[in-house]
Structure 1
Amino acid sequence: MKDLVRAAHIGPGLAVVVLATLLAVADGLSPGRVLLVAAAVLAGQLSVGWSNDLVDEARDRTVGRADKPLASGAVARRTVLVACALAVLATVVLSLACGWWAGVVHLGCVASAWAYNLGLKSTWWSWAPYAVSFGGLVVFVSLAASPPELPPWWLPTVGALLGVAAHLLNVLPDLDDDAATGVRGLPHRLGPRRIPPVAAVVLVAATVVLALGAGLGSPASVAGLVVAAVLVVGVLRGAGRVPFVAAVLIALTDVVLLLAAS
């Protein structure tokens, strides 16, 4: 069971679940509705994680990814296939239980993530599924409310920008393994030296949009802009791991502001 859970990329998946749950709480959803949103997102993330390892099994074996249970033989392919199919079924049922339009939006987010796994990850458009899925997640949570309502334009915009930055920073540790198996998405074309500053620009853009949406005079927006400005110096001038860490801290700052503004 432990290896099956690991094959689902449970760490990043739970991070998305926590974000969706906090957004639902911030939007004032009832406790039952918050749990339903969290369950739908968890099911979707499990399907995405398992599908990723199923698609990448041959690649992962080629580069000797011992951390991938499917590629290392720690879990059987049939087991992952069955688990993935059940997760897809649960995603459909739980998403539509959140409301028709909310369900359609969330299923679109999950389909976008699957599109990344199935080929977009190796193209210039590798960033697009992250933008669609993270931006759509904000819309899904708002539509899951009773009555459903669309969020202001700037909230999904911030979500999309955070998604793009997450893609850039998430791929950074795997650049060499991906290159060995022919994966050439946007981060691979940028290269390890340019990823942190490009991610920082995207994250600062998210901070600015947040500040504009929440009102430039609010204490939270001013604090966010100041923190982002300080950290971007570390991204552009830092050495070693400093640019990467600074970019991640900007992302965390934006997530906090996003939740505060929801």
Structure 2
Amino acid sequence: MTTRPVGPEVTSPSPVRALVGAAHPGPALAVTVLAGLLAVAQGLAPTTTVVLVAAVLAGQLLVGWSNDLVDRTRDRAAGRRDKPLATGTGSVAVVRTACGAAVVACVVLSLALGPAAGLVHLACVASAWAYNLWLKTTVWSWAPYAVSFGGLTAVVTLADGEAPPWWWPVGAALLGVGAHLLNVLPDLADDAATGVRGLPHRLGPQRIGPVAAVVLVTASVVVLVGSGPPLVVTVAVVTVVLALAAVVVVGTGRSPFVAAVGIALVDALLLVVAR
């Protein structure tokens, strides 16, 4: 008679869970929600809003899955336990198949918004692919974020047959650059160990926070100048943003990162409500 050892059973995540984990769900959800809120601010028809949100979600899934496919060797070398493809808990074949489906969905849904909006959105996704495949390791790592975030605002208004106000793409582009700086900050050590040398890595951990704060404060100024809200709103926004920027510059521990994220959230809110 044999006995089985008693202990916790090791199980692999379901294919769906692994797919979600490989899609960078946090950033994907944030960008998709921002697109939906911008669509509401623009006053798009409900059907158009649904198609736009679906197109953006498909594009974000495509970008996230392709990123993990391209980076799986680097992630494995860095010991990234949060990456299903690096740990072997996710199937490369399944993610590749999902990427193929996302390409088809993204193209079809984007063009359903109209030729102008569709082509701009596909250009935004192509810009993100350029980051995954090459630009993330160069000093130009910020450029795809500026192009893709700024272009997203044009997708929303072009779906309604009009160009965006100047401050929407400019403010969103600056928000994208700030988001890039903040998004890389937790992974600097892992990236350095695997040869990734984008703009944030060249700045170094001590300068990323202050530079991100300047970029995000500038985004706030652009949106305030462009939208011209009531004086009380302007004063409130300036007070909050400058207070958070001060924390970014002189804070310690995780407080500068949290404060910079706070500025990014204020900028995103301004883009939505100050139309």
How does the TM-score come out when normalised to structure 1? 0.97
Equivalence map 1:1-262=2 (5 Å): 1-145=16-160, 148-215=161-228, 217-262=230-275
**C-alpha displacement of 1:220:** 2.7
1:184 is paired with a residue of what secondary structure?
coil
Distance, in Å, in 1 between the alignment partners of 2:170 and 2:56 is: 19
Count of paired positions: 260
> Are the equivalent residues in 2 in contact too, given 1:214–1:261 (CA < 8 A)?
yes
SS of structure 1 residue aligned to 2:60: helix
Q: More displaced, 218-227 or 14-23?
A: 218-227
Distance 1:99 1:92 in 2: 11
The answer as to whether partners of 2:174 and 2:219 remain within 8 angstroms in 1 is yes
Contact 1:57 1:70 in 2 (8 A): yes
Say if 1:162 and 1:202, in contact at 8 Å, map to a contact too. yes
Q: Is the 8 A contact 2:131 2:141 kept in 1?
A: yes
Q: Return the alpha-carbon distance in structure 1 between the equivalents of residues 217 and 241 of structure 2.
A: 6
| SS of residue in 2 equivalent to 1:56 | helix
Report the secondary structure of 2:142's partner residue: helix
Q: Which is higher, the Rg of structure 1 or of structure 2?
A: 2
Q: What stretches of structure 1 of length at least 5 have no aligned partner? A: none
1:74-101 CA-partner distances (Å, limit 9, x unpaired):
1211111110011011100000001110
Tell me, yes or no, if the aligned pair for 2:248 and 2:257 is still in contact at 8 Å: yes
SS of match in other structure, 2:165: coil
Identity rate of aligned residues, in percent? Answer: 65
Q: Distance in 1 between matches of 2:235 and 2:201?
A: 34
- 2:78/2:193 contact within 8 Å kept: yes
- Contact 1:127 1:167 survives alignment (8 Å): yes
Deviations 1:104-153 (A, max 9, x none): 000000000000000100000000000000000000011112xx100111
CA shift, 1:31, in A, is 1.0
Taking the aligned partners of 1:218 and 1:232, their CA distance within structure 2 comes to 21
What secondary structure sits across from 1:20 in the alignment? helix
Q: 2: distance between equivalents of 1:113 and 1:221?
A: 33
**What is the one-letter code of the residue matched to 2:36?**
T
**Matched residue type, 2:268:** V
The answer to whether the 8 A contact 1:122-1:185 is kept is: yes
Q: Distance in 2 between matches of 1:109 and 1:220?
A: 32
Secondary structure at 2:147 match in 1: helix
Q: TM-score normalized by structure 2?
A: 0.93
RMSD of aligned Cα (Å): 1.0
Please give the per-residue CA displacement for 1:38-80, whole angstroms capped at 9, x wherever unaligned.
Answer: 0000000000000000100111111111110011111211111
Structure 2 residues without counterparts, runs of 5 or longer? 1-15
Offset of 1:10 from its aligned partner?
A: 1.3
Q: Secondary structure at the match of 1:152?
A: coil
CA drift of 1:211 comes to: 1.1
